[in-house]
Structure 1
Amino acid sequence: MKNILIDKSIKLLPKEEMLEVKQNFKSLSVGIPKESSLQEKRVALTPESVELLVNSGHKVYVEKDAGNFSNFYNEEYIKYGAVITDKRDEIYNCDFVLKIEPPTVSEINFLSEKNVIISALQLNIHKKSFFDSINKKNITAVSFEYLQDNEGKNSIVRSMSEIAGNTSVLIASECLSNINGGKGILLGGISGVISTNVVILGAGTVAEFAARSAAGLGANITIFDNSITKLKRLQNNLNTRVNTSSYTSRSLMKSLMRADVVIGASSSYNYKKNGIYVSSDMVKMMKKGSVIVDVSIDQGGCFETSKITNHKLPTFEKFGVIHYCVPNIPSRVSRTASISISQVLTNLLITIGKSGGVTNYMKNNKGFRCGVFSYNGFTTNKYISEKFGLIYKDLGLIMPSF
């Protein structure tokens, strides 16, 4: 057996420590203007979200009294690190401007090339001139409606849809009561009394949460949609049996004649094309004192008899049927809605800061790119460009170093 020679000069050396490489952090300035749209009571960031952003190294400027309608007051914002100002140019001089409603003409005038503005878009209220004004400012404009999370979901839209669905049933209940001129019917059911009939048009998020609320109250529910897949998914999500049907004029008419409440929750932009549309003649056949809540009024409405109302004068009567057609239902519960929106935006801003700024973040995040509809003077959303006759540019082709 051969002798094994051991080199005694060999020493054990400590392994080099592998330290985490810090990301290219960028401190952001964030401006929160006070909403000026009629009866808009929500605010984009809550005081608690401000604290998270400030502790993460960012600066937040809040216009004086911006959160009052949601019961978030100036003192709270100051306590958690925000700068309160009554100068709008300070707000719009920030890297990011966060709004609830789309920017008005006067607000667009405050914007400059450095701004990233994130807000609702509400396509149906705009004309081509709105997008021309946005493009002239060479800003980055992001909409709630198109902004997606890492799973490809529209988080803010879904949250507001959940609120609208739940709230639509509570609204219908109020409209049925004597105190609001209704028939004095309890929405739901009790022992020995036939349950209220609720018809829901559509099978999306609004419909799902409206059905949950109505089912919890004991109502008899019928849901219409032309997509069998959506109806099956909704049925599974509810975890309880409800009546579902594909749309035909005859089947819908029978349900409308029995209905105490009809909730318009279809997300389609063209109801006549897709079938979920209730004509005036159908409304005439409904029971006197029944209630229509048209959640889709901001997209044109599910009912021929619908017309936009507001929170001060929310209802009108047509053919003996009470109509509720307020576009921004989540503003009725502005504090809850603000908290939900704020959570999404706060996580987004913190991630953008960690990634080194909005340009770096856009390069690596498809969901955020989906939300950008205007960048550096160009319309980057194909649907918007086609709808309004605007020149379309693919965001991936015009971003630097993409």
Structure 2
Amino acid sequence: MEKAKEKVSIPKSMLLPQEEMLEVRKKGQKIKIGIPSDYSKVEYRVPLTPQAVDLLVSYGHEILIEKNAGKHASYSNEDYQKAGGTIVETKEETFQCDIVLRIAPFNMDEIDALRGNQVIISSLQLYAYKQETIQKLLKKKVTCIAFEQLENEDGFLPFVHQMSQIAGVTSITIASEYLSNSRNGKGVLFGEVTGVTPAELVIIGTSTAAEYAARAALGLGIFVKVFDTSVYELSKLEEKFARKIFTSVFYPKVLRKALVSADAVIGATAFNKPPKFKVSEDLVKQMKEGSVIIDLNVSQGGCFETSKCTDFNNPTYVKHGVVHYCVPNSPAMVSRTASISLSNILIPILLAIGDNGGVDNYIKVSRGFRKGVYIYHGILTSTDIGRLFSIPAKDINLLLAVF
């Protein structure tokens, strides 16, 4: 009886599901990554640092970097060469790679220069796109993935979180700079000095950027007031600070009083969502002359009716006596810090792509990575983009069965 039990074997049919899973996942694949320079687009960040390139090359991957792509993040061509990267003279050479990795979105000429049937990983920045741009990407049969829509397996947005932290902290630096005489400001110290009334800051929103702006401002002794549509979100924000901040929903009289006395106002509502509230032009007119507005949501429509996109060449304009700073990629102001942060997030993603046998396989096994895909093999998969540009979109989960 016991011997009979020892001879019992597991039926082959019970092993089939495991075998099928193994077939889906191919053996690790070496990938060729191209990194063009974004300096012409007034973008100073670079997606991979030399340290990241060194690690990826050690896994057998090939990295092509356009000459001087890391210059404004203080990374030289020699730094990348020592790390095992290959420096190329033109961005067109990087556009022939399996994966093109960059910060800025593509313009029409750059799309023409793409090899096609490849993968693009970059910021989406919808404000920079037109219907013709999207149509051209579709014709190239590319797969496009947006940094700001990528999630981890817990639904966390790592790129948005990291860049929002940086944007929040730098917004305080920017406000301080434009209130000082060095930028022909009104000569106000954005901080606290004994015997002098502290500077006042109003923050619109309770996002990560809002939290880090408030944190930096409180550290300088600035009087902080935060407005949002949600009492719950305001309460959560209050709990994060040992020092008391003023919070309120958007009561017209309360908001008006705060804006009239504010030295700086920061728009920092939740990313990836249209702002729920906009400060009217009439309220901007009532702000103090020489006060500063910093709109961190300008790429998504802005938090102020008077906002319009600017860049680092001409970052500000004055309207109704108020200085407006509306650079959509403000983390690039501290390009080295931002580049290190981006690189830290991208390294495990790129290694996982290689381990899983390429981008297509990784899209299938990683739900969070799949969330970032807005074009898949030349087919639009983002309903938001489809709605905006009147282009039909398809569910990527259905497409995965075909490719």
How does the TM-score come out when normalised to structure 2? Answer: 0.89
Decide which moves more: 369-378 or 36-45.
Answer: 36-45
Quick one: distance in 1 between partners of 2:388 and 2:379? 15
Provide structure 1 residue ranges, at least 5 long, that are not aligned to the other structure. Answer: 1-20
- 1:36 deviates by 4.9
2:382 maps to a residue whose letter is N
User: For 1:132-147, what aligned pairs fall within 5 Å after superposition?
Assistant: 132-147=135-150
1:303 alignment counterpart: 304
Residues 376 and 396 in structure 2, CA contact (< 8 A), matched pair in contact too: yes
Alignment of 1:273-312 (within 5 A): 274=276, 276-312=277-313
Q: Secondary structure at the match of 1:72?
A: coil
Q: Is the 8 A contact 2:292 2:322 kept in 1?
A: yes
Match of 1:60 among 36, 51, 63: 63
- Asked if the contact 2:380/2:386 (under 8 Å) is kept, the reply is yes
Cα distance in 2 between the residues matched to 1:112 and 1:396: 26
Distance 1:249 1:298 in 2: 25
Deviation of 1:309 after TM superposition, in Å, equals 2.7
1:313-337 C-alpha deviation (Å, 9 max, x unpaired): 3222222222222222111111111
Letter matched to residue 332 of structure 1: M
On the 8 A contact 1:31/1:94 being kept in 2, the answer is yes
SS at match of 1:66: coil
Pairwise CA distance, 1:270: 4.5
- Match status 1:383 vs 2:384: yes
Per-residue CA distance 1:349-393 (angstroms, 9 max, x = gap) = 001111221122111101111100001221111222122211111
Q: Does 1:28 align with 2:31?
A: yes
**Partner Cα separation in structure 2 for residue 258 and residue 391 of structure 1:** 48
Q: Deviations over 1:283-339 (max 9, x none)?
A: 121122221112222222222222333323322222222222222211111111111
User: What one-letter code is carried by the residue in structure 1 that aligns with 2:387?
Assistant: E
Asked if the contact 1:208–1:238 (Cα under 8 Å) also holds between the matched residues in 2, the reply is no
Matches within 5 A, 1:151-230: 151-230=154-233
Q: Which residue of 1 aligns with 2:102?
A: 99
User: 3-state SS of the aligned residue for 2:289?
Assistant: coil
**Which whole-Å CA distance do the structure 1 matches of 2:170 and 2:92 have between them?**
36
- Higher Rg: 1
- Verify the 8 A CA contact 2:267 2:296 in the aligned structure 1: yes
Between the aligned residues of both structures, percent identity stands at 45
Contact 1:378–1:391 (CA under 8 A) maintained in structure 2 = no
Distance in structure 2 (CA, Å) of the matches to 1:308 and 1:190: 34
Q: 1:248 to 1:267 in 2, by over 3 A?
A: same
**Does the CA contact (< 8 Å) of 1:53 and 1:346 recur in 2?**
yes
SS of the aligned residue for 2:216 comes to: helix
Distance in 2, Cα, partners of 1:241 & 1:392: 47
SS at match of 1:238: coil
- Provide the aligned length of Structure 1 versus Structure 2: 379
Q: Partners in 2 of 1:321 and 1:195 — Cα distance?
A: 20
Instruction: Work out whether residues 117 and 377 of structure 2, in 8 Å CA contact, stay in contact via their aligned partners in 1.
Output: no
Rounded to whole Å, the distance in 2 between the matches of 1:220 and 1:94 is 51
Measure, in 1, the Cα distance between the counterparts of 2:340 and 2:98.
22
- Give 2:282's aligned amino acid: D
Residues 111, 139 of structure 1: 8 Å contact kept: no
CA deviation after TM superposition for structure 1 residue 87, in Å:
4.1
Structure 1 SS opposite 2:203: strand
TM-score normalised by the chain length of structure 1? 0.90
Q: What is the SS of the residue equivalent to 2:33? A: strand
Q: CA RMSD in A?
A: 1.9
Structure 1 counterpart of 2:182, which letter?
Answer: I
